[in-house]
Amino acid sequence: MVARSAAAKQAMLERFTRAKDEGDFPEDVDPAGLAAFLTAMNQGMAVQAGAGATRAELEQLVETGLKLWPGR
């Protein structure tokens, strides 16, 4: 599980770095920080789901996360 999580985070980091290089993210976006944020969101949502969060509550987290997503 830990290796899979590390591999997913590395894949996100590589993709986010490429996105920044290609101009899809603003210059001030930190690809490593963004990958860590998304990993924490995913892990947090898994904990919330395990604790009994409703689908609506989890979808609200996704919507909030998307509002924080960096744009051009």
* First-to-last C-alpha distance (Å) of the chain: 34
Q: What is the pTM of this model?
A: 0.83
Q: What are the residue ranges spanned by the domains of the chain?
A: 2-68
In this predicted structure, the answer to whether residue 36 has a pLDDT above a threshold of 70 is yes
pLDDT digits (tens, 9 = 90+) for 40-52: 999 999 999 999 9
Average pLDDT, the chain: 93
Q: Which residues of 9-47 are buried (b: 16+ CB within 10 A; e: fewer)?
A: beebbeebbeebeeeebeeebebeebbeebbeeeeebee
pLDDT digits (tens, 9 = 90+) for 17-35: 999 999 999 999 999 999 9
